[in-house]
Amino acid sequence: MNWDIVEGNWKQFKGKVQTQWGKLTDDQLDVIAGKREELAGKLQEAYGISKDEAEQQIKEFEEQNKD
């Protein structure tokens, strides 16, 4: 998954991200704006998980949503 493309098409990906991680609010999704590092940080906050766990979840999400 190319995060430059995700960032450029954030409105389309936002729904997939919210489906995957339902605890993320619209405000958090607006802050993330397609940036992988922001997503990892918000996942850590919302779910109380480690950075490594957040990265693993994002990696799995990328595999499920290949270009």
pLDDT at 36: 95
pLDDT at 22: 96
Q: What is the CATH number of the domain that holds 23?
A: 1.10.1470.10
Residue 12 has pLDDT above 70, yes or no: yes
The total number of structural domains that make up the chain: 1
Domain with 60 in it: 3-64
**Residue 28 CB neighbour total at 10 angstroms:** 19
Residue 60 has pLDDT above 70, yes or no: yes
pLDDT at 5: 87
Half-sphere exposure in the Cβ direction for 15 (13 Å, CA): 3
pLDDT single digits (tens) 16-50: 999 999 999 999 999 999 999 999 999 999 999 99
pLDDT at 67: 60
8 Å CB contact between 46 and 27: no
